[in-house]
Amino acid sequence: MTFPIRIGTRRSALALTQSGMMQRAIAAAMGVPEADIATAVPLVEIVTTGDRVQDRRLLEIGGKALFTKEIEEALIDGRVDVAVHSMKDVPAEQPPGLCIAAVPEREDPRDAFVSEAFASFADLPEGARLGTASLRRQAQALALRPDLRIEMLRGNVDTRLRRLAEGDFDAILLATAGLNRLGRADVIRERLSLDQFLPAPGQGALALQTREPGTGAAWVAALDHPLTALAVAAERGAMTALEGSCRSAIGAHATRADGRLLLTAELLSPDGTARWRRSGDLGDVTATDVMSAAHTMGLAVGRQIHDAAGDQRIDL
């Protein structure tokens, strides 16, 4: 890949922060002087449908692919050379001709509890108003606290924090990774348990998407973090088996321990009254085909959940 390397990004503050991180990392890997970064690795801002429509849940307007569709079209058309996405927004299947070339090291994958008045999720009073647009977070919160009033909250991080400060909600749930990257970790009252609030598949990770074959780019090896990529492959395998989208309440998280890859995944009914969870593990994480094996293990775990849910399985 020759210069310029054009990075397609959404226009939100978080997207620009994340893309700016990758812009500097790609420039460093390619030996670009700091003064030349903006010219050699420019950011191309693209407004997506998901950004334009803020008054409805994503499941009502087409799902989370609406955060990636226009950027992927720019990749396919050759208007940009690499796209930076939040991995949790990337649909299970890649469009023809595109691939995930690199997965940088993951940030904290946990959900964050943010409130003006309450120190923790457990401290919320009966009937408290909890803001989130995530079906997964809604279902997990209601599984623990069916008394809560879940209210729809979309918009960028600043908009969500402003609405909380104005009293629209008693608390809101956000991704810890995004708050960390924005330098807003100070607003977090509690980092929620990975057991009770199993994250979305890929949460905290970024996806660097290119035209195929993306692995040939000189910067890929420098930015790709093999252990994060491996964990994400397993999580997205489970998501694929469960037909994961904004229409399904799905959590999945994989970690490495004692040379093994451990995956936990779950499916919940939107009201939190039903929850199906399964785990799996992968032995030799140094095998040459380990990425494929991790994805296959994730698929198997997802299918176990699918089979366990059976006719009770609820997709909106």
Q: Backbone phi, then psi, for 83, in 5-degree steps? A: -115, 140
Please state the separation of Cα 152 from the chain's center in Å: 19
Backbone angles phi, psi at 163, to 5 degrees: -65, -35
Question: Is the dihedral angle over the CA atoms 93, 63, 315, 88 positive or is it negative?
Answer: positive
Structure tokens at 143: 């599984």
In the chain, the N- to C-terminal Cα span, in Å, equals 42
Helices assigned H by DSSP within the chain: 13-29, 37-40, 49-52, 58-61, 69-77, 135-144, 157-165, 176-181, 220-223, 226-241, 290-309
- Edge to edge, the sheet with strand 249-257 lists 249-257, 260-268, 275-282
The DSSP bridge partners found for residue 45 are 9
Local structure of residue 240 (DSSP, 8 states): H
* Residues 303, 306, 312: CA angle, nearest 5 degrees: 170
Active site residues: 89
- Determine the Cα–Cα distance for residues 93 and 114; give it in Å rounded to an integer: 33
Query: How many Å apart are CA 191 and CA 146, to the nearest integer?
Result: 20
